[in-house]
Structure 1
Amino acid sequence: MPATHFEQFLAEAVTHDREPGSGLKRDELYGLYTSWCLLHQVEPQLPEALWAALKRHGIAPDDNGLSMTGPAAADYIVASAPDLI
């Protein structure tokens, strides 16, 4: 998948507003990514492809300082806690 696929995900679904050492865990990042893919009708790539794309953009998957944002964040949160509906 072209880098633009992951760049679009980063632009639409995450924000850099946390300090390094905090942020999303790998499972949260991948869950957010799969929610984003679902909303955009894009086939999700394997987690390893996401980690590699993050690293190409200077983002460490385990120490990222990222927060969720946008429609994919809402979809992920609702999907993660279906009892809230």
Structure 2
Amino acid sequence: MATSQFDQFLQEATIQDSGSDHALGKDCLYGLYTSWCFLNQITPQAEDAFWAAMQAKQIHPERTRLRMKGPAAADYILASYPALV
């Protein structure tokens, strides 16, 4: 079975952290996804399609239990806080 772009995104840009109170929120996770898409030259899916895919993977917007990692994390942080550049 082919890996979906959402599976690839989760594998490359996130890490499971069930014990942390600092998991990604709804806006941050979608923003990380769009950064990952930009870096991989993939057109991002609409936010409702993204959340439908995440819900199918038992990832809920209010409690994602995910943290960011990798190049998409750096891109997202720099895009979100341009004063850091």
Offset of residue 20 of structure 1: 7.2
| Residue 32 of structure 1 pairs with residue 37 of structure 2 | no
After TM superposition, where is structure 1 displaced by more than 4 Å over at least 4 residues in a row? none
Instruction: In structure 2, give the amino acid aligned to 1:83.
Output: A
Which residue does 1:51 correspond to in 2? 51
Task: Give the length in aligned residue pairs.
Answer: 84
CA-based RMSD of the aligned residues comes to 1.8
**SS, match of residue 60 in structure 1:** coil
Q: Distance in 1 between matches of 2:22 and 2:52?
A: 20
For residues 11-61 of structure 1, give each alpha carbon's deviation from its aligned partner in whole angstroms, at most 9, with x where no partner exists: 001111143765111110111000000000000111111111111111112
Q: Distance in 2 between matches of 1:51 and 1:20?
A: 21
Cα gap change, 1:3/1:48 in structure 2, threshold over 3 Å: closer, same or farther?
farther
Q: Distance in 2 between matches of 1:40 and 1:84?
A: 23
Unaligned runs of 5+ in 2: none
Cα gap change, 1:82/1:34 in structure 2, threshold over 3 Å: closer, same or farther?
same
Q: Percent identity?
A: 50
Q: Give matches, 1:66-81, under 5 Å.
A: 66-81=66-81
Which residue does 2:63 correspond to in 1? 63
Cα gap change, 1:26/1:16 in structure 2, threshold over 3 Å: closer, same or farther?
same
Offset of residue 3 of structure 1: 6.5
